[in-house]
């Protein structure tokens, strides 16, 4: 089994929760952690400092493209940050992720 953590920044807490909730509802992820961050970046020729929220979501590697597509459907940013990290976990946690995620015929 191969797993990923997907790192998604959002404009606010509610947007991060909405994204995670949509992915959980569709059973594309097993879990999400949401927390505030301070971000600094270049945008449209200016240096920006901004408060954002991050959703770290855990899922199967083979769900990467579907998760990315689902996030893009509702994300408010013109250029959202959606990054994946290949991960390994203890066997019990990996089994739990696998059990809690599935591709539903309703996608």
Name the percent of the chain lying above pLDDT 70.
Answer: 96
pTM of the predicted structure, to 2 decimals: 0.92
Beta bridge partners of 8: 55, 82
**How is residue 58 written in tokens?**
């855990």
pLDDT digits (tens, 9 = 90+) for 2-46: 899 999 999 999 999 999 999 999 999 999 999 999 999 999 999
62 and 103 Cβ atoms separated by less than 8 Å: no
As a dihedral over the C-alpha atoms of residue 15, residue 19, residue 20, residue 21, rounded to 10 degrees, the angle is 90
Q: How far is CA 32 from CA 18, 27, 29, 50, 55, in A?
A: 11, 12, 8, 22, 6
């Amino acid at each position: 089994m191969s797993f990923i953590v997907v790192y998604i920044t959002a404009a606010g807490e509610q947007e991060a929760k909405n994204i995670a909730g949509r992915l959980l509802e569709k059973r594309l992820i097993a879990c999400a952690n949401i927390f505030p961050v301070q971000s600094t970046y270049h945008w449209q020729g200016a240096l920006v400092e901004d408060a954002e929220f991050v959703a770290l979501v855990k899922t199967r590697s083979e769900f990467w493209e579907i998760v990315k597509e689902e996030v893009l459907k509702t994300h408010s940013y013109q250029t959202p940050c959606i990054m994946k990290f290949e991960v390994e976990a203890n066997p019990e946690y990996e089994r739990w992720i696998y059990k809690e995620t599935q591709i539903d015929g309703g996608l």
